[in-house]
Amino acid sequence: MTNVLKIKKFTLAWGITMHLEEMKKEIETLVLEKGFYNKLEDIPKKLLFAFIELGEASDNWKKGRSEEEIAEELIDVIFYILDASRLACPTVNMDEMFKKKLMKNKNRSFQYGEEHRLKPQ
């Protein structure tokens, strides 16, 4: 299965295209159906879980695992981030925020935040 990231949308291998906001709703349904953490005080847990999944993706990459195994862990990161956003900033449209942040990053200077790489060693 291959997942293709498009700006503002995910197109899943079985032909379903979802916006970030639609994903948040699907994740909320899953959280409620499965009885996962769903309170404001659970936001730090969700962010920690995202961080753990990111570590698992890194570990899979270091071990030379398949792209699909790496991607699955990265998708878990997205799940936890969107789930945390659902609770932490429920009135923020993540599709619009993505576009806004993308434009902000595009307007930054070359190697923004990495000036240390330009200095002679």
pLDDT score of 3 = 46
pLDDT score of 14 = 55
**What whole-number distance in Å separates Cα of residue 21 and Cα of residue 96?**
9
What are the residue boundaries of the structural domains of the chain, listed by start?
19-95
* Structure confidence at residue 119 as a pLDDT band (50, 70, 90): low
Tell me the pLDDT of the chain averaged across its residues.
Answer: 88
39 or 16: which leads in pLDDT: 39
* Structure confidence at residue 12 as a pLDDT band (50, 70, 90): low
Question: How many beta carbons lie within 10 A of that of residue 90, not counting itself?
Answer: 9
Instruction: Tell me the per-residue pLDDT of 34-85, one tens digit each, with 9 for 90 and over.
Output: 999 999 999 999 999 999 999 999 999 999 999 999 999 999 999 999 999 9
**What whole-number distance in Å separates Cα of residue 93 and Cα of residue 72?**
25
Q: How far apart are the first and last CA of the chain?
A: 44
Domain 19-95 annotated CATH 2.120.10: no
Q: Provide the percentage of residues in the chain whose pLDDT is more than 70.
A: 84
pLDDT (mean) for 91-109: 94
* Structure confidence at residue 109 as a pLDDT band (50, 70, 90): confident
- DSSP letter, residue 64: T
